[in-house]
Structure 1
């Protein structure tokens, strides 16, 4: 059984060798400590959303999102495009629009909204649209990214947030071909090191030095 997600498919696009090592050998890229602030922020934002669910749109989203927060949607979307291959995604929330189409809403914390959509966020949004479509929800190729940022304030003042929403035009049609590529890579031998992968480059640089026992 092969379990795929946006993060794993983003890794595939970044470096096929690192993707293969994670999926086949469970060898993950090294990582540093993970900040708990975004996790807490996510919990606070979801609590705020729930106060308005099924009714009016949360005021911080007014004028930026069309529709209202959806009710009764699953936490996780899952689909089996090929036998033994599963794709799953977990949007932060969903928006039900006036025409009853449901689209994904994902929250991001940052110092400010980016000038353009990061490729990893684009793929994530593409996958959410794909999963909504394959799970027979009425949907359109669209998603929302809500960037929450702290307003300037003194450290002894209450911190408030601002929100900038970007409407994403999604491309769910590319997801099937990307999953086929993932299966092809996993069924083959270990790929060559990625040309632009800093992790593969670091490992290759170590080969220049003799091991000291």
Structure 2
């Protein structure tokens, strides 16, 4: 039974061929060194949030920026889907109980500077939040069909008094039905033959040029990328992909 996650489904959206090879043949894209600073900040943040979870209040860092309390429910979730004969799982950074009792995923992101407007979150993290909402609902939880992405970024200040960070909270609407649609499409891809590369996949293009020995040769056969719902509202798509994607 294939076991998929938000990051694996994101790979499917980027390039079905890389996704198929990763899952079916265990051939992963090459990766460089992963910076340890975001992981360290994430560890400290989760310990900090845990203190306030036990007190039944929101941490001062985000108090006043959203409503609710931190959930006591398990954050590692998954379900076996009989329709696709596959498993979807994920580990939420945290989860908020809204005043009406419904749950909303919360995710920590570190950045070098404050994020742009809401379109930034919709461009890079919308699908991840859709998947987390789907996981909550398939595990029997009522959700608000919203999610909170909390950004932490350095700001100017007296460093000898502690490294100052700014905090911004983006709240987005989520669509678990869209997450399931992509999940089902990805499982159908795995059950079929090796698919063509996505037109924009630099990994497949590099491999093709390396194997052909012709740097001026044509790129590998391209497939149209899987359809993805347009974000709400239409986001800007310029700028580099953030290093903290799914961090």
Offset at residue 167 of structure 1 (A): 0.1
The answer to whether the 8 Å contact 1:4/1:88 transfers is yes
Structure 1 runs of 4+ with >6 Å offset: none
CA distance in 2, matches of 1:114, 1:173: 27
In structure 2, the partner of 1:45 is 45
Name which of 194, 205, 212 aligns with 1:190: 194
Q: For 2:136, what is the secondary structure of its paired residue? A: helix
Question: How do 1:27-106 and structure 2 match up within 5 A?
Answer: 27-53=27-53, 54-71=55-72, 73-82=73-82, 84-106=85-107
Offset at residue 131 of structure 1 (A): 1.0
Structure 1 window deviating more from structure 2 (145-154 vs 28-37): it is 145-154
The answer to whether the 8 Å contact 1:112/1:147 transfers is no
CA distance in 1, matches of 2:71, 2:113: 26
Q: For 1:61, what is the secondary structure of its paired residue? A: coil
Offset at residue 155 of structure 1 (A): 5.7
In structure 1, the partner of 2:127 is 123
Aligned length: 209
Offset at residue 160 of structure 1 (A): 2.1
Structure 1 window deviating more from structure 2 (14-23 vs 116-125): it is 116-125
Offset at residue 114 of structure 1 (A): 2.5
Offset at residue 66 of structure 1 (A): 1.1
1:69-93 alpha-carbon deviations (Å, 9 max, x no partner): 112x113111122363100111100
CA distance in 2, matches of 1:22, 1:104: 27
Structure 1 window deviating more from structure 2 (174-183 vs 155-164): it is 155-164
Q: 1:86 to 1:113 in 2, by over 3 A?
A: farther
**Structure 2 spans left out of the alignment, 5+ residues:** 215-247
In structure 2, the partner of 1:141 is 145
In structure 2, the partner of 1:107 is 108
Name the Cα RMSD after superposition: 1.6
**Structure 1 spans left out of the alignment, 5+ residues:** none
TM-score, normalised via structure 2 length = 0.80
CA distance in 2, matches of 1:86, 1:113: 36
